[in-house]
Amino acid sequence: MNFIFVSPNFPVRYFKWVESLRSRGFNVLGIGDSPYNDLNPRLTAALTEYYYVNDMSNNYAMEEAVAYFQTKYGKIDFIESNNEWWLEEDARLREAFHVDTGFHPSDMAHIKAKSQMKEYFRKGGAKTMRYLVVKGPEDKETALKFIEEVGYPVFVKPDIGVGASDSYSLKNPAEVDSFFEKQLPEPYIMEEFIDGRIVSFDGICNSKGEVVFCCTDHFPIPIDRIVHDGLDHVYYNIPFSMPMIDVDPVEFERVGRGVVKAFGIKRRFFHIEFFVLNQDKPGLAKKDEFVALECNMRAPGGYTPDLIDYGSSVSVYDIYADIMAYDEVRVDLTKPKKIAVASHRKDTFNYLHSIGEVTEKYGPHIKMSGRYPAHIAVVMGDFYMFAAFDTYEEAQEFDRYFRAKK
């Protein structure tokens, strides 16, 4: 079988997807914008062949690359990137080359636009935040009426996009005036503000849309605060068989599975984010209830797939490859589960304990550590350390020690 992996060079750890696919017998054919000699050696070893494209936004160049592989290797079975940035390009290429294992351009609106996701969340049984789509000054009066209904602050972000750099709250009329001073670069979604923490429903489903593996990631510090206030942070991966302190796991999994079905997700990784409320929000939900935030048709970002591996004692890269190759999971999912924690430091802070001291104290629990590349460090922090524990309390204690400041 032939699997075209779009941009296997970015993020850097994506070589692990390629290795797992190759081990299941795929010809993994890479198309990327990094010169061959710049690729990770493990990536080049796992790829059957690599096609360099200087500009991956050039439709003709991308089609030329796929046509080359199809002529040389025969029918293309999959075209995937597992990357939010290339979802539309993946879909366009599938349609152009008659690849039916994945989304096509006609599917893009409801999986890319946050405003259109709302309907599918509701079909899946999830509550959704009230919202308005705005484009510029002509929408200001409508926005003011919306704010009168939901109250200050409101949260604004691009309707289509990923990341927190262009996401922020408007806390008063002056900030609303400033926001509407000129035409926006693209449509923005304005939502009622939620005081809450993000918990995600992450997993992999088969060709029937059945969830074959799932778990949760818990983000106690709001991502926009990490970006805009320069905070360091922590998040946790918690398998469903482990105790959860911030959400009802039975109800959360039920709704998560319903949302996967409603969106029509098939044979792919998903990362679906919810807000768990810190306080009652009249007209929406009560404290500790959850409401839908957004649905991402790819694995969680950064090195989170590795964190999931440490929590579930399994390789999600292998689970994904099993589904691509066999449409069933053939790895052992019954291994012991842990609370996996990802703690982060920023170079701007002076920390109490050295990395050596942390390693000496927690050595057997530490699974992975290092410095993020610059493009990830902007959001995640400069240095990370992943560890796994039997209890949430132990994981919290580790994080407190790791991030303690002088």
CB 79, CB 90: distance < 8 Å: yes
Name the percent of the chain in helix, strand, coil, to the closest 5.
40, 25, 35
Ramachandran quadrant class, 57 (left: phi over 0; alpha: psi -120 to 50; beta: rest): alpha
Question: Where does the pLDDT of residue 159 fall: very low under 50, low under 70, confident under 90, or very high at 90 and above?
Answer: very high
Residue 269 has pLDDT above 90, yes or no: yes
Give Cα separations from 137 to 146, 179, 180 (angstroms). 15, 9, 5
pLDDT tens-digit map of 284-330: 999 999 999 999 999 999 899 999 999 999 999 999 999 999 999 99
Give dist(CA 399, CA 406) in Å, integer.
15
396: CB partners within 8 A, 6+ apart: 341
pLDDT at 168: 87
Position 248 scores a pLDDT of: 95
Positive or negative, the CA dihedral 192, 196, 202, 207 is negative
Q: Does residue 100 share a domain with residue 70?
A: yes
Which comes out higher in pLDDT, residue 229 or 96?
A: 96
pLDDT of residue 163: 53
Residues 157 and 209 in one domain: no
Specify whether 144 is located in the same domain as 280: no
How much is the pLDDT for 116? Answer: 95
Contact 75, 4 (CB under 8 A): no
* Whole-number Å distance between alpha carbons of 135 and 281: 27
Residues 97, 11, single domain; the answer is yes
Check if the beta carbon of residue 264 is closer than 8 Å to that of residue 297. no
Sequence letter at residue 119: E
**Does 21 share its domain with 79?**
yes
Do 258 and 162 sit in the same domain of this protein?
Answer: no
* Domain-embedded: residue 94: yes
Q: What is the pLDDT of residue 106?
A: 95
Percent of the chain with pLDDT over 90: 91
| Chain mean pLDDT for the chain | 95
pLDDT reading at 207 higher than 70? yes
In the prediction, which pLDDT does 162 show? 61
Residue 230 pLDDT = 87
Residue at a domain's end among 54, 78, 109:
109
Mean pLDDT of 21-47: 98
Domain that holds residue 68: 2-109
Q: What is the pTM of this model?
A: 0.93
Q: How far is CA 406 from CA 136, 246, 354, 364, in A?
A: 46, 30, 11, 26
pLDDT band at 190 (very low <50, low <70, confident <90, very high): very high
State how far the Cα of 189 lies from the Cα of 193, in Å rounded to an integer: 12
Same-domain status, 274 and 386: yes
- Domain-located, residue 203: yes
- CATH value at residue 100: 3.40.50.20
Q: What is the pLDDT of residue 376?
A: 87
Give domain status of residue 159, yes or no.
yes
The answer to whether position 326 is within a domain reads yes
Q: How many domains does the chain have?
A: 3
Pair (99, 152) in one structural domain? no
Instruction: Check if the beta carbon of residue 247 is closer than 8 Å to that of residue 199.
Output: yes
Task: Kindly tell me if the per-residue pLDDT of 50 is higher than 90.
Answer: yes
Tell me, yes or no, whether 177 and 280 share the same domain: no
Name the one residue in this structure whose structure tokens are 């993994």.
28
> In this predicted structure, what is the pLDDT of residue 227?
78
Asked if residue 161 and residue 246 are part of one domain, the reply reads no
Q: Is residue 53 part of a domain?
A: yes
Domain boundary among 76, 94, 109: 109
Asked if 258 and 152 sit in the same domain, the reply is no
Residue 15, helix vs strand vs coil? helix
CA–CA distance, 201 with 218 (Å, rounded to integer): 9
- Give pLDDT, residue 220: 93
Q: Are residues 286 and 324 in the same domain?
A: yes
Residue 311: CATH number of its domain: 3.30.470.20
Q: Which of 154, 102, 120 is nearest to 295 (CA)?
A: 120
Going by pLDDT thresholds of 50, 70 and 90, the confidence category of residue 224 is confident
Contact 179, 154 (CB under 8 A): no
pLDDT single digits (tens) 99-129:
999 999 999 999 999 999 999 999 999 999 9
Question: Residue 165: which pLDDT band, with cuts at 50, 70 and 90?
Answer: low
Average pLDDT over residues 349-360: 98
Band of residue 63 on the pLDDT scale cut at 50, 70, 90: very high
